[in-house]
Structures are given as C-alpha cells and as structure tokens.
Structure 1
Amino acid sequence: MFKKILLIVAVVVFTQSVMGQATRFFTKAGLSTHVPYEWTANDTRFQLRESLEEDFEGYDDFTLDFTPWTTADVDGSATYGILDHDFPNSGAAMAYIVFNPSQVTPSMASDESIQPHSGNKFAACFASVDPPNNDWIITPLIALGSNSSLSFWVKSYTEQYGLERYKVGVSTTDNNPSSFTIISGSGYLEAPSAAWQEKQFDLSDYDGMDVYIGIQCVSNDAFIFMLDDLTVNSEASEGTLYGKVTDALTGDPIPNALVSVAGLSDYSDTNGDYSITGIPAGTLNANFTATPTSGTAPLDVQFTDLSSEGTHTVTASHEGYVDYSNSQVVIPDGGALELAISLSPTLAEGQMRFVLTWGELPYDLDSHLKTPEIEGTSYHIYYSSQGSASSPPYAELDIDDTDSYGPETTTIYDL
C-alpha cells in the first residue's frame, strides 16, 4: 500500500510504499480547489412520534444531496480522493458524501476498515486539501417531545494521518452553522480507527422544542470521517383537552355529552365540564380551496392552501342535538387547551343556525346577520336588534354572550 502524497503537477503523483489502508491523493484536474460557502435555509419539519432514524441506505451511491437533511461545506475546499480507486464526486469540494465501498472502482468491499456500521452505505467526510475541515451534516427541523436523546456511530478510516475530529451541535433557530450551540464539550471528539464507536447525547434540555442537530467534522489533514446509523429518540408529548359543553340556544350546561379526540373520550359531568388527557401529537391535515371551480377552458384557477399541521379532530354528541365536529383543533405538545363546545338542538326543516364560540379572550364577540328584503324591509339582527322567530325577519339572536367562551347564537327560523 502507499503513504499519502500531494500533487506536484496535475498529472504527476509521487508515492511511498507502506503497509496499511489505501492512501489518499489529490488532483486538480477538472476540479475547483475552493468553493465559497453559501447558507441555504431548510425548514422541513418532522413531528417526532418515537424516533428519527437515518442509515443512509435510501440515498443514491456517492450523492452529495442528503435532502431533507442539509450539508454545509463551510471550508469550501476540494477534498482528497483514494489512490487507485474511483467513484463519482471523488475529490470534489463537498461536506459529506453517501459512500458505498462495494461500488467503488475497483471495489473496496474487501477493505474491512471502510465498511459501514450496517447495510451498504454510510456518510463520509473526506479530508480537505486546505485543512482543517469545517463540514456539517444537519437534520431536518425536528419537533422534540420528552426524554429526548441522540445516538450515532463514528469511525476513522485510518489513523495514518491522525484520527478524525468532530463536534455535535443543536440549533433552535435555523440550520445556519453559525446558529449551533456545541453540546459535545469545549473541544473536539475523536473517532477511533479500530472499530465503530457509538456516541450518545442527552437532548432533554431541548424537550418540547423545534431543533436542528448537526454533526461537524473538524478534522485537521486526516482522511475519511465515517458516520452511520444516527437516531434521535423522543417520547411524544401528551396533551390535555378540557372545557364545557353548553346548549347553543340557552347557554346551559349539557351533562353526559360525549366528547372525543384521537380515539380518547370523556362524558361531560353535571356542570357540562369534560377533560381528556394523554392526547398524542396532532397530524397534518391537507386542505385547499380553488377559485373559480368551473368555466371555459383554458381556466385560470387560484388555489389557496388551507392545510394545518399538528391538528386534531374533536367531536361531541348528545341525543337531541346536532353532532359537533371541529378538525382544526391544535393542542400544544405537552400542554393543555380549553375548548368551549356548544351543541345546537336539532333543527326543523327549513331552519339554519349559526353558533359562535371562542376562548377566554376577548370577553365579547358579536354575531351579525343582514337579510335581503322581507315583505319590503331589510333587517340587521345583532345585540341591539335581536329580531323575531315568529314574525319578520323570522330570524333571532337567541343568546348574546358577553363574558367569554360563548355561545353567541343566531337562528333563521324560516328560510
């Protein structure tokens, strides 16, 4: 085998024979030796239910694109290749590459020192020609729950040029390398060359937060930093939903109403109060509107995204009342939400009812209804003119709430 070499001219390479792993080399032919680093934001967000696991098996061999992860080649330097071996992006200015030793030409499948911890691939950071390395691989934005932790496996390909060095950081703002707080200590860590080593870090200080996690290679003129099988563990934070179920016409509490969310249920008590605990994190609900919805082709349609993330569908029911369903309820991770529910008594044919409910603040919201001409007169139904159910306008403000939560109810009794 060979000792490390440096290129003297683009096509002349000098080596010295030594025993050990493959040696590194660098050629400037067709490559830029330095690429200025430009930060690109990535706000892809993962709501962690149990864990985020990355073994790099799902990426193309030798790709530099780790989407939805982010890489940052801050040093901008070209990198060393492997002498007498070829693979796509060899020698490129890069941060990390998905490395598959069996697909190198010629194959490195027989070199035990460069095999993945598991599977066929790992993330590799090659030594910068202009050391030291300053290269990052960064997770997507992760919504942590509780008891959060990080683990991964590292290795140096060889100690011939010194062990690989790295740091671990967390950012609560963005994925810019300058935004990370290093949690691995005041200095750098070293990856052993003899065997893969598992590293674990406690992330409980960041429980309940949205975070990016970054592995920074800071090796100084070494060779190949190897990273594999990264896992972020976190227990989903459980939320609580509570509130009161009332009659939309009278404002009186309704006992024995069934309230359900995420497969959990509770019956309201004699005061109309309900409480549901242990609610898991919500989901992404996809929704949109389109305007116009018909016309002559070609048609210019404007779509509006109404999707919501982290939402639950809450339902409530009781005999003699219209079933309640709200698919836009956001319960804070590990927190509690008070939701006032007003059930509308079953409507007769030809009737329509509007029920307005809200939270503790503001204390008062007002419902307004304006009618077309009815027997020659238009009407405005609101708190100062509450209408009538039995005479024009055949619509009435049934209840006007002024002390939080609602309901504020208006019924059209004759459409």
Structure 2
Amino acid sequence: MENEVVQKGKRAKSASYEMNIKTTAEKNHALLCIADQLLHDAEKIINENKKDLQQGTVNGLTESTLDRIMLNKERIQAMSDAIRLLVELPDPIGEVLEDIKKENGLQILKKRVPLGVIGMIYEARPNVTVDAATLSLKTGNAVLLRGSSSAKFSNIALVASIHTALKKANLPEDAVLLIEDTSRETAKTLFNLNEYLDVLIPRGSKSLIDLVVREASVPVLETGAGNCHIYIDDSAQLELAKNIIVNAKTQRPSVCNAAESVLIHENFFKTYGKELLNYLSDVGITIYGDEAVCNVLSSAMLATEEHYAEEFLSLTLSVKIVENVYEAVRHINKFGTHHSEAIITETKDNADVFLTTVDAAAVYHNASTRFTDGFEFGYGAEIGISTQKLHARGPMGLPALTSTKFYVYGTGQTRS
C-alpha cells in the first residue's frame, strides 16, 4: 500500500494538470472563497491552534516559537486581508516574456507557466500553510504541504477550511494537500519524490534548510536563515543608528529579517559607543561583544565566533568593532546567511562599496532590515525568502513560482 506522501503526491500531480487550464477569474474567485472561509472558521481554527500551543508548552518550546505558532482573530483577519490583496495582484501566468519573429515566418513566444507541484516543508508557522496554498493557487500550481508536529492541529484545520472553499469554487481540492504524518520518514520520502514534485521549498531553521539542501534529490528553492547585520559607519548619525537598530532588533525579534549582529566603526565607537550600547541595553537587548564592547558595557558578555554566526531570534545581539567598511564586509561575508544586510552612513562611497560587495539577497542603506518581506516589496504574500542565486532571490512572490515555456507557431515550416 502506498504511503501518505506518495499517495498525496500522485493526487497533487493530477490536480496540477487541472490547474493549468484555470483562468485568472476562476483562481481569484477561489482565493476570495478561502479568504471568507478562514473568517467563518476562525473560532474552530483558534481552538485547534490552542491544542498546538498547549502541547508546545508541555514540550518546552521557546516563547518565540510559541509566538510563531499562535493564531488569534487578528492574525486570521490578517491572513484573509492578505489573500484579498493577492487577488488584486496581476496573474503572471501567460505573460509573454519574449516575442521572436523569424525570417521563415515562425513566431516564438516565451511565456510564464506554472511550476507544477510545489512541495513545501516548514516549521512552526501555520500562516505558511495559507501563504503557500494561496500563492500556489494564484500561479496555477498544486502544493503538497508538510508542516511540523508543533503546528499539526492548526495546519489540519486551515487546510480543511481551504478545501471547503475550493469545493465551493469548483477548483480541485487536491490542489492543496497536507501530509498529516509529521514523522522523519515522511520528510525523507518527500525529499525524493521526483516523480510528482517539481520543486521543494524548505522554510524554517538553518538546520532544516541545510538538511533539505543536503539530502533532497528534488530540485530545491533554498530559503535561508537570517543572520542579518547592521554596520554603523564612522559618518553615521547617532539617532538614526539608534532608531534603525532598535526597529530591526525589537519590532519582531523572532523573524528571519530581524537584525542579529551590529558592527561599529572604531571612530564612531570612540565618540558614541557607550551611549549607543547603554541605550540598547536599556531597551532590553542582551549583548555579546568583543573586548572593546565589554570594556564599555559592564553587562555585555564576551562573544565567540559561534555568537557571531548565530541567528538568535530573540532580544540578543552580537556586537563587534571594526576598522572600516571593508572589514565589516569581510565579517558579514564570513558569518552572514546571504539574507539582508544594512549600512548606516552619510558617506556615499562607503554605501556603494557595502551595497556592491556584501553577498546578500537584500542590502540596505540607512533603513531597517525588517523590510525584506513580500508585502513590503510589493509582491503580496511570499512563499519564502530565497538566499540562493538560481531561479529566484529575495522575497519570492508570484513570478518566482513560475517557469517558462516556448510556444512556437508556424505555417508548415520545416528545417533544412
């Protein structure tokens, strides 16, 4: 007997062929049905979510993890609102990217088409269930979801609502399928489901992403952990630096675009270091720093290389003093995760050096890293933030979930 992963992979593949011929109007109607259904089922979803939170508390999950799992009326309303925004976005499917007319009369069109079946493996966040489902549907794809045990009840409830909506909209329910068995065996099967999956997208911790990249034979769209840095150059304005760092660190510490490390030019540090560090400490940030930092801030703890490489996902920062922008870039390219990096400076040449030479999907000048997000970049919901360089990079909205196909129109031409 086929296991759950293979069985649902086969069903998703079949549904993907049905989705190929669905019109933009049909897909948008289904999305609106989902937006309405989530609100209708909100109480039921929240009750199932409470089971995950209770189990997570028993299992000793951190507060930041529990926050990522938690659903309430406001978050479900936000999901519904996000789907309505997605409906307003242009459908990329069928977009003509190239139109080539040959001398022999052939017309060659390069068009956007669905990827097919997207496999999604992710941790904690039940909102990913809705994001992945709705983005996939908008782009004519089917999606096979495999969440973690920490959000199992929430994910089952959300997919049940999505299926109700798809049935009302006359779209195939199998276009969105959830693997309910969260054992390691199902993950391993998913990694090698080449017959039915066209791409696999991991979203979660660095260990999960590394595992998928290392073991999957299915093509992987890699989303990265976020060890994001802010470099304060010698010409930076103190108040600007304070505001940007506090926003990037404290506005939502548990997300991948939150700042995890601050690098400070030695001249800036001599003038403003004590004031800046005391300010960060006063707002509740724990600091691991080098010797210079520890000499100025008594509560700071000495940082190791492990601290500089860590994605804390909490109110903790690593801080290091550097000689110039070039040392800052070397440090970031060594310890960063190619996600989002920022420079605070009034010197254009230093900004240009930083933005050009830092290896990251998004680079910022005088702004918080918290903007690396599908909504903020105008894509609507995102399926993840890609930190690789092939196919897609940065927030992956609708165009990232497409491939291309050449349509060749002739009138009997043959090649000699």
TM-score normalized by the length of structure 1: 0.21
Which structure ranks higher in relative contact order (CA pairs < 8 Å, sequence separation ≥ 6)?
2
TM-score normalized by the length of structure 2: 0.21
